[in-house]
Amino acid sequence: MWAILLTVSLGTVAIFGIGYAFTVVLRGQGTPDADETGVATISASPLPCATTMVTPAEVLPRTSRVTINVYNGTKRQGLAGTTAKALAARGYDVKEVANDPEGQKVIGVAEIRYGPKGAEGAKLLRFYLPGAEMLPDDRSNKAVDVVIGKEFTEIVGEAKVAATLASPSPSTSGPGCAAAALAAPIESPDAEASGVPAPALSPSASMSVAAG
């Protein structure tokens, strides 16, 4: 009698143990991973990030929508006036032409001073003044100051600027990646306009400002 009871008891314990182990295995496969604190963690799917080809002409304003002041940062007489005429011929809205009100002597090609509202217009201007130094400030208006410097020679021709603006560059967008700056202008745009349709930047003009 005792042998039978012992055998039944051991069998019951064995069946219970096997069932419990099987249940644990199934629960481990069907639940999220838990960290050391016992809190379940769920692996999130990566957010999408798309890369597209964008041209500067698609995202930058037309010259007619950019208001500028042209200042002379050198001792060369009349430099601001001739430069302002060249930029006006390309469609820019020129407001003030004078010597640099800050009295700075600009050593390089030029300084482009702008506030948050004029940032896009300043980017466009740099295509016409490769090598110009970008100087953001806290002004509240959208006007951009162009201060011509000692190393300035000429405004880049419209055909060359149009070709550069039409050149596509990769741009990333989406919640899974940081927004990239769209097609920042290069220091010396060398692209020729052959075979590249020129975007309508301004009334047709082909002026250049010669040194002196």
Model confidence at 209: pLDDT above 50 = no
Report yes or no on whether pTM surpasses 0.75.
no
Nearest 5°: the CA angle 177, 182, 186 is: 130
Summarised one tens digit per residue, pLDDT across range 93-121 is 999 999 999 998 999 999 999 999 999 99
Comparing 50-54, 127-131, 151-155, the range with the smallest average pLDDT is 50-54
The terminus-to-terminus CA distance of the chain in angstroms comes to: 122
Residue 172, helix vs strand vs coil: strand
When comparing pLDDT for 211 and 50, which is higher? 50
Summarised one tens digit per residue, pLDDT across range 6-25 is 565 655 656 655 655 556 55
Strand pairing partners for 188? none
What is the crossing angle of helices 158-165 and 119-128, to 10°? Answer: 130
Rg (CA), the chain: 34
CB-based contacts of 115, cutoff 8 Å, min separation 6: 136, 137, 138, 139, 140, 141, 142
Every domain of the chain and the residues it spans: 52-173
Give pLDDT, residue 37.
54
Model confidence at 177: pLDDT above 90 = no
Model confidence at 188: pLDDT above 80 = no
133 in Cβ contact with 191 (< 8 Å) = no
Summarised one tens digit per residue, pLDDT across range 34-71 is 455 555 555 566 777 777 777 877 889 999 999 999 99
CA distance 201 to 88: 12
The rounded mean pLDDT for the chain is: 76
When comparing pLDDT for 204 and 81, which is higher? 81
Nearest 5°: the CA angle 167, 169, 172 is: 155
89 in Cβ contact with 82 (< 8 Å) = no
